[in-house]
Structure formats: C-alpha cells, structure tokens
Amino acid sequence: MAESDKVFAGSIPQLYDTLMVPLIFEAYAADMAVLAAAGLPGAVLETAAGSGVVTRALAPRLGTGARYVVTDLSQAMLDHAATRQPPDGRIEWRQADALALPFDDASFDVVVCQFGAMFFPDRVAGYAEARRVLSPDGRFVFDVWDRIEENAFADEVTRALAEVFPHDPPRFLARTPHGYHDTALIRAELGRAGFTDIGIETRAKTSHAPSAREVATAYCQGTPLRNEIEARDASLLALATDRAAQAIASRHGEGPVSGGIQAHVVVAAG
C-alpha cells in the first residue's frame, strides 16, 4: 500500500461523506450496526471510523448506559465525523492507530471496523490488537470489499483512468480498497491473531447515484485516488473525472445510475 492511500485530508473528508458514503457505505453500515449491537454490548470500540457512517447507524441501537469509543487514524476524518453526530454523552472521540490501541486488555465487548482492515499495514497486528482489547466472550465485527471486478463503479473508474494515464495508471482502488478479498487469507490472518471462531458472509448489494458524474466525482475527488491523480498531473483532475463519468454513463446511462457492489462481512471471536 502506498503512503498516499492513507491520506484523507483537504476536501476529501467532506466529499467522501457527502458522495461516497451514500453511494457504497450506508447499506453496509446498517449491517454493521445490527451485528455490533446484538446482545446490547456495554462497551463498544470502533476503529477506522472514517466519516462516522457506522457511528450514526450504531449509536441509536446501543443501550443508554453503553460506552462507545470512536477512533480513526486520521484526525481530519474524525473531526468531520464528530460534526455529523448529534450530542451524545456515551460517545468518546479519540484519534488512535488500530495497530497500537491505547486501551486496556479486555475492555470492550465489541470491536467494529467498517472497510478499514484493507488499510492496515500489518493486518495480523491489527487483528491481534482487536482481540487484546476484547473481553473473553467479545466479538470483532468488520467488513472488507470483494475483488474490484465485483464492484462495478470502482472497476469502471479504474479502467477509465488507465486510459488517461496509460504509462502509469492509478491503481489505488484495485490495490487497497479491493486488494484484500481472499477469504482464505482473511481466515488465516485472523487465526494467526488468535481468533478461533470465524464467520464470513459475502453480501452483494446495489449502489445508486443521481448521475454518472456524481459517481465519478465521488471516486476521483472524494477518496485517496485523488492523491494519485494529482501526483501524476494535478491539472488533469477534471479530465480524469470527466473520463470516468463518460465510462460510467456509457454503461449505465445518462440519468440515475445503479451498479453492483459486493463485500465480505466478518464476525470473529474466541
């Protein structure tokens, strides 16, 4: 993973939350909230919270006396997430690295992480940290994207940008968000971290947007893909977005568009 893959700064957090979240993240956040809230846990830790889409879905499902600690490596993303959440005394916002959590052993009933594990530079270490802070009967709930070919818009944007930059195509989407899709590898790495009870379910959904242009803007300007485009030639950001929009419209039409998305949902314990 390139260092730029982890940079969510500048205008990216705002665009990510307003465009990417409703496009592909909200539906899976609802799934995460249901799984994490099962059994009404008393203490929940969220890692790699991003702009807070899971936080918004999960907080209403937790008990009035619950403790909910929401963390992210990016302070910019965490700050944005906090602005989107109604005042809630149960929630503590804290910048933290999922690979070196600043919490005591066995201090949470659930650790939840939506689409963050792909960004861990050492996933086994991240999983081991989740297990360390979980109570003996606690659960680690997370999800990761399936391969890019099962996620229509991401695949189409990546192919379009390869035509804009044929000698050095931006590969952020294939490399990182969609680069950790092997379920056998996921099981093996969780096992190496000490988890013994591992369930993985592949869930297909459909994402919707008002236009191909909005999808292209979401991916090209609201994710670290923007960093890759600008590193090659910042003056071509608008052209790259245009080409991505054209590619999506050519397949899905000029009006509202829909595309398949697919992810692996994981619950680990033991």
Q: Of the candidates 229, 203, 206, which has an alpha carbon nearest to the alpha carbon of residue 216? A: 229
The rounded mean pLDDT for the chain is: 94
What is the domain extent for residue 59? 3-269
Q: pLDDT (tens digit, 9 = 90+) per residue, 142-177?
A: 999 999 999 999 999 999 999 999 999 999 999 999
Given a cut of 50, whether residue 7 has pLDDT beyond it is no
Given a cut of 70, whether residue 11 has pLDDT beyond it is no
Burial category of 79 from C-beta neighbours within 10 Å (exposed 0-12, middle 13-18, buried 19 and up): middle
Q: How much is the pTM?
A: 0.92
pLDDT-derived band at 105, boundaries 50, 70, 90: very high
Count of domains for the chain: 1
CATH label of the domain that carries residue 192: 3.40.50.150
CA dihedral 194, 195, 200, 205 (to 10 degrees): -80
What span, in angstroms and rounded, lies between the C-alpha atoms of 174 and 72? 22
Given a cut of 50, whether residue 6 has pLDDT beyond it is no
Q: pLDDT (tens digit, 9 = 90+) per residue, 55-87?
A: 999 999 999 999 999 999 989 889 989 999 999
Q: pLDDT (tens digit, 9 = 90+) per residue, 170-218?
A: 999 999 999 999 999 999 999 999 999 999 999 999 999 999 999 999 9
What span, in angstroms and rounded, lies between the C-alpha atoms of 62 and 42? 8
What span, in angstroms and rounded, lies between the C-alpha atoms of 67 and 49? 16
Average pLDDT of span 247-254 = 95
Q: Which amino acid is at 254?
A: E
Given a cut of 70, whether residue 8 has pLDDT beyond it is no
Percent over 70 (pLDDT), the chain: 95
The DSSP bridge pattern shows strands 197-209 and 257-269 to be antiparallel
Better pLDDT: 129 or 222: 129
Beta strand residue intervals within the chain, DSSP E: 43-46, 67-72, 91-95, 108-114, 134-145, 197-209, 257-269
Q: Of the candidates 3, 46, 21, which has an alpha carbon nearest to the alpha carbon of residue 261? A: 21
Largest CA distance in the chain: 56
The answer to whether the CB of 211 falls within 8 A of the CB of 257 is: yes
- Whole-number pLDDT of residue 34: 98
17-26, 34-43, 196-205: range with lowest mean pLDDT: 17-26
Query: Where do we find the tokens 């929940």?
Result: 44
Average pLDDT of span 26-55 = 96
Given a cut of 80, whether residue 2 has pLDDT beyond it is no
What is the DSSP secondary-structure string of 157-199? HHHHHHHHSTTS---HHHHTTTS---HHHHHHHHHHTT--EEE
